[in-house]
Chain A
Amino acid sequence: MAQSALLNASILKKVAMALSGLFLISFLALHVSLNLISIFSERVFNEASHFMGYNPLIQYFMQPVLAFGVIFHFVFGFVLTLQNKNARPIAYAKYNGAANASWTSRNMIISGSVILAFLVLHFYDFWFPEVNYKYVVGNLPDANRYFGELVHKFHDPIRTGLYCVSFVLLGFHLWHGFGSSLQSMGMHNKYSRFLSKVGYGFAIVVPALFVIIALFHHFNN
């Protein structure tokens, strides 16, 4: 599908947002599981991180796919928001959005922007140093450095606080995003209702786990 056609076909845009969102949700599940290990075992966390950091399939296939998914979801989200703003050039003097739709559904751009800002910080904290370590400085692999790096980042109360706030906003984003993606793909039945409930659970549990992990390392070290 040509890019311009995709940008003009409203339903394809919905589906593209839904699919990229679901893909990112699956990545979140993986990420939180890995981080969770850091609470229980330094050794296993180091091993898992080292595996992720040096496995060629993950590094050269999964990582670029993930990067594409992230960029696509963000860029498309902003494009859609702009298009939607243009669809109502004159705003209402009084608009009672809370009367008929949830805050989370009306403010995906806000929660999404916070997540984007968080990602910039997160990349600054972990991804850039990682690239620097491996490819710029060209250090030899060290399978025992990851836990220390993680713990070090959560010393700072401001950074830990920023992480926690971002996770809450991530929860808001997921709260609407998961069920919405099912609806976008045409699912609206007892299964999607059930899955949406699972999605609400995910939207609470996953960000809560991220918060717990951040606070755990902050207070424990």
Chain B
Amino acid sequence: MKLTLKIWRQKNAQDKGGIVDYPIDGIEPDMSFLEMLDVLNEQLINKGDEPVAFDHDCREGICGMCSLFINGEAHGPDRGVTTCQLHMRMFKDGDTIFIEPFRAKAFPVIKDLVVDRSSFERIQHAGGFISVNTSGNTIDANTIPINKHDADKSFDAAACIGCGACVATCKNSSAMLFVSAKVSQYALLPQGKVEAVDRVLNMVHQMDAEGFGNCTNTGACEVECPKGISLENIARMNREYLAASLKG
């Protein structure tokens, strides 16, 4: 495959940055998108140019590290996959492909396609946990009966890998899908009930403080989420938040 890549290049956080064109040849349809970028980087290094910086780790859709806004969509045109699971067969010979970093005020660009998603970490720190006494008296979680329906929904919410595609794709740069998944995974379980009020208030407060936009229910996040996190979680978080606000 012969392609034209239009890649966002930015030296550092202060640099203005811009799109640079890279023609590339010899790409196999069975290559993953990141392998294609590896090929490009090899060529750039051989020419003595600066390779394109991009995030990745597991390369099997687990870690949530890879990002990239490809041809106008977070994680590219495929559904239910991360960028590392995207394959070049989704493109045609001769295509022009825009490759940009995830864009949001709360995800500042560090270099090229690498963005700082530590705002997600800070939201997690604000309440995405349960407090457990680990002094030796810890009760095994399996001894607490949980109905299957709730357990399944909690598990589905916990599948969120914190990739940030929901923010990147949302026209408002809202982080509601991510935060709602993190709130829901605990809200549905008895272990999470104890800190439920503080959790939702603190996490939403942190989300707002980070400068994410307001959700207007376009549903784009759900479509682009590689883990199929449902909008149902956002509705649950809205309920939790309203109830918690009333409680104090």
Contacts and interface: CB of A to CB of B under 8 A. Distances in A.
A92 B173 contact: no
B218 interface: yes
A89 B16 CA distance: 12
Interface string B201-222: 0001101100111111111100
A88 B208 CA distance: 14
Given A94-B71, A96-B73, A180 B235 contact: no
Contact of A100 (B100, B213, B220, B232): B220
Contacts of A9: 204-205, 208
B36 interface: no
B205 to A, nearest CB: 8
B243 to A, nearest CB: 9
Contacts of B231: 183, 188
B214 A100 contact: no
Nearest to B243: A186
A83 B223 CA distance: 23
Interface residues of A, number: 40
Given A13-B214, A87-B173, A89-B105, A105 B219 contact: yes
Given A87-B213, A88-B105, A92-B103, A11 B241 contact: yes
Contacts of B223: 99-101
Interface in B192-248: 204-205, 207-208, 211-220, 223-224, 231-232, 234-239, 241-242, 245
Contacts of B98: 92-94
Contacts of A95: 72, 171
Interface of B: 6, 8, 19, 69, 71-73, 77, 98, 100, 103-106, 169, 171-174, 176, 204-205, 207-208, 211-220, 223-224, 231-232, 234-239, 241-242, 245
Given A10-B207, A86-B213, 18 more contacts: A8-B208, A9-B208, A10-B212, A11-B237, A14-B215, A14-B217, A14-B238, A80-B216, A91-B103, A93-B100, A99-B72, A102-B219, A180-B216, A180-B217, A183-B238, A186-B242, A188-B235, A192-B235
23 contacts: A9-B204, A10-B207, A10-B212, A14-B214, A15-B238, A80-B214, A86-B211, A87-B212, A92-B100, A95-B171, A96-B71, A97-B72, A97-B171, A99-B72, A100-B219, A100-B224, A105-B216, A105-B217, A108-B216, A179-B217, A186-B238, A186-B239, A187-B235
